[in-house]
Amino acid sequence: MASTALHTFLHGLVDYAGLFPPAQLPMNKAVAEFARLKKSSHAAGVARFIVPLSRLGEWSEAAAPHLLNGCVPDNEPAPAPWGLSVLLDGPLDDGLMQIERFNHEHQAGDGHTHKHAHTALIDTIEVKIQTPEIIDVAQEKLPEDLFPFFECPHDADFRSFATALAGTGFGAKLRTGGVTPDLFPSSERVADFLQTFNAADVPIKCTAGLHHPVRSLQPLTYKPDSPSHVMHGFLNVFFAAAFVRAANADRETVLKILNETAANAFKFEEGSIGWRDLRLTTHQLEEVREDFAICFGSCSYDEPIADMKKLGYLA
């Protein structure tokens, strides 16, 4: 039976990014896959659907039958809304207007959706930036009910971005991989990211390249002739984040966790998690997941779950 610590670790861990490489599914198939995942036995691990701003209309059309299929009798509580995270691929002002309109059109009781059907809510926005200046602009314009993650270049000086984000309540995002080797930051860079934004008390998100639990050599795409590259494991990254946040782990320890390749070095026990001889309580882990290491984006959810089963973490 899975431990409480494992449930705490997995809860809301993955934002589903099926539209993006290497999966790169068509919209209708990605939405259908999200609907399936939300009904699966490990649905608690799936947080939001990631969609570019420019494709919101396409998303609504593809999702309409799935949302209506979520109807329940009037005497039962309405199902929770589907959460969305929007990638800003246009001007901020236009994007905020589109998001406001989308949320109004997809709320319960609006005349378009049965009040006891699934609804949809954009509560997160992701913005790729090259310099910190846009953060000040966004702070003046973003509504309180829309949480932003700002994607920092992995070769940037994280300190300037952390300074700009400190005290705003906004989050930082790091791209941890992709379909080419150059998109994978080194372990040293990931450690810099974790330690810098922890010191500034800024929540973090990672995206891409974290399909597998433990650091290992993996194919970059799903093609039979795909080249391979060493990928960061999501256990490595999130355990490192947890020990940075809750135990003020030093750089040497952080790098050892990030570079760990032995799956049995990571422990989920009743009441705690552990890496080798180090331990954190489930309560500490819960605080880390709520306040600091929020989630990661992945074009697959089945793959991480299958690997967790293969390694014996899940039945």
What confidence score (pLDDT) does residue 114 get?
62
Tell me how far CA of residue 177 lies from CA of 20, 144, 258, 299, in angstroms.
12, 30, 14, 12
- pLDDT tens-place string over residues 248-264: 999 999 999 999 999 99
Tell me how far CA of residue 302 lies from CA of 41, 229, 299, in angstroms.
11, 21, 9
pTM, to two decimals: 0.94
- pLDDT tens-place string over residues 23-72: 999 999 999 999 999 999 999 999 999 999 999 999 999 999 998 776 77
8 Å CB contact between 163 and 170: no
Task: Kindly indicate the confidence band of residue 115, based on its pLDDT and cuts at 50, 70 and 90.
Answer: low
Q: What is the architecture of the domain spanning 4-310?
A: Alpha-Beta Barrel (3.20)
Instruction: Identify the residue with better confidence: 144 or 73.
Output: 144
What confidence score (pLDDT) does residue 109 get?
55
Task: Kindly indicate the confidence band of residue 75, based on its pLDDT and cuts at 50, 70 and 90.
Answer: confident
Radius of gyration of the chain (CA): 19
Tell me how far CA of residue 140 lies from CA of 91, 170, 204, in angstroms.
15, 12, 21
> Amino acid identity, residue 206?
C
What confidence score (pLDDT) does residue 215 get?
98
Burial 165-182 (b: 16+ CB within 10 A, else e): beebebbbbbbbbbbeee
Contacts for 53 with CB less than 8 Å, ≥ 6 apart: 86, 87, 88, 89, 90, 95, 98, 99
Task: Kindly indicate the confidence band of residue 1, based on its pLDDT and cuts at 50, 70 and 90.
Answer: very low
What confidence score (pLDDT) does residue 132 get?
94
The sign of the CA dihedral 55, 61, 63, 64 is positive
- pLDDT tens-place string over residues 159-217: 999 999 999 999 999 999 999 999 999 999 999 999 999 999 999 999 999 999 999 99
Kindly list the domain boundaries of the chain, sorted by start residue: 4-310
- pLDDT tens-place string over residues 119-163: 999 999 999 999 999 999 898 999 999 999 999 998 999 999 999
What confidence score (pLDDT) does residue 198 get?
98
Q: Which of 16, 15, 25 is nearest to 222 (CA)?
A: 25
Instruction: Identify the residue with better confidence: 151 or 2.
Output: 151
Percent of the chain with pLDDT over 70: 96
Helices and strands: H and E segment counts in the chain: 11, 13
Is the per-residue pLDDT at 117 higher than 80?
A: no
Q: How many CB atoms lie within 10 A of CB 76?
A: 9
Residue with the two structure tokens 């890496």? 275
